[in-house]
Amino acid sequence: MLLAGRNAVITGCNRGIGKRILTTFAENGSNIWACVRKPSDEFERYVKELSARCAIEIWPVYFDLKDAAQIKEAAKTIMSTKKKVDVLVNNAGITYNALFQMSTIDKMKEVFDVNFFAQMIFSQFIVKLMLRNKRGSIINIASSAGIDGNAGRSVYGASKAAIICATKAMSAELGGKGIRVNAIAPGITKTRMLSSMNEEIIQESVQASHLKRVGDPDEVAKACLFLASDMSSYVTGQTLRVDGGLG
């Protein structure tokens, strides 16, 4: 129960890594604003069952990261509850695989809008709540592609590299106010996004890793739990690779 009595905001909770982070945080005692793009009966049912099983509160929040007005309204919804926010996990994002010569400016803007600008805008709102309590932990889900510069991932990798740079700058600015900011850089992980990648590229990445396998969302969620909890109370400004040894 590493997060007992705490409140977390998590984006992209409806599948993959985000859903596993949601579950892991709930199982460790955190109340959660579970942010997803649009409502679904399946998601509503899942969070209701998870909330009951773990004896915590889960408040679904719906907004599209491509829409600045929706981001603002979602933040206002969270702020209107007058509850403290202890943890923010910026997990939601989109993937994109293409050679840089084949990447249009419109696609570049879309990827950066979701993977970088939306994360920064949302964080600005949530940080205001953390400042009231003079403590908090922000975790940005980046990617090993943002460090390694893989072929075919120039746009996606650049958007994640921007998040990694912002993580360091945010940590420097917010550390004196009791707010820690870290990033996690997953490698190849068993999620729906994996289906967008060429099988040959997947196998090349697996063979390049020290553990010779694809990662599981649970392994990323556990790293996220560590950074959200007091177990990492002296860790900030860091990017934790959870990639089976790609680096």
**Prediction pTM value:** 0.94
- pLDDT tens for 12-71 read 999 999 999 999 999 999 999 999 999 999 999 999 999 999 999 999 999 999 999 999
Averaged confidence pLDDT in the chain: 94
Report whether 142 contacts 164 (CB < 8 A).
yes
pLDDT of residue 87: 98
Q: pLDDT confidence of 140, banded at 50, 70, 90?
A: very high
| CATH fold for domain 7-242 | Rossmann fold (3.40.50)
Active site residue 156: yes
Q: Mean pLDDT throughout 191-214?
A: 79
Dihedral sign of CA atoms 146, 179, 66, 31 in order? positive
How far is residue 13's CA from residue 58's CA, in Å, rounded to a whole number?
11
Catalytic pick from 62, 96, 156, 234? 156
| Residue ranges of domains in the chain | 7-242
Give the per-residue SS3 of the chain: CCCCCCEEEEECCCCHHHHHHHHHHHHCCCEEEEEECCCCHHHHHHHHHHHHHHCCCEEEEECCCCCHHHHHHHHHHHHHCCCCCCEEEECCCCCCCECHHHCCHHHHHHHHHHHHHHHHHHHHHHHHHHHHHCCEEEEEECCCHHHHCCCCEHHHHHHHHHHHHHHHHHHHHHHHHCEEEEEEEECCECCHHHHHCCHHHHHHHHHHCCCCCCECHHHHHHHHHHHHCHHHCCCCCCEEEECCCCC
**How far is C-alpha 177 from the geometric centre of its chain's CA atoms?**
22
Q: Mean pLDDT throughout 117-128?
A: 97
- pLDDT tens for 64-119 read 999 999 999 999 999 999 999 999 999 999 988 888 999 999 999 999 999 999 99
How far is residue 54's CA from residue 68's CA, in Å, rounded to a whole number?
33
Q: How far is CA 93 from CA 84, 110, 141, 191, in A?
A: 25, 11, 9, 13
Tokens of 23: 């579950």
How far is residue 234's CA from residue 219's CA, in Å, rounded to a whole number?
21
Report whether 171 contacts 235 (CB < 8 A).
no
